[in-house]
Amino acid sequence: MQGKSRLIINNTINNMSELLTKRIRHTVLCAVVNKTEKVEEVAPAR
């Protein structure tokens, strides 16, 4: 039983860190996109 619960805990930690990584990537991506859009707004239209 000890080994099984340890496996479940490890899986949970892996899933959480994966979600966290995805969320961070998503946040960074959104920030980059927003910055790019702002730059395009400021830049004069050609």
Domain ranges of the chain: 1-46
Residue 23 pLDDT: 96
Predicted local distance difference test score (pLDDT) of residue 5: 93
**Which residue has tokens 């930690």?**
13
d(CA 2, CA 10): 12
Tokens representing 28 are 């960074």
- The tens-digit pLDDT sequence of the chain (46 residues) is 678 999 999 999 999 999 999 999 999 999 998 888 877 776 666 6
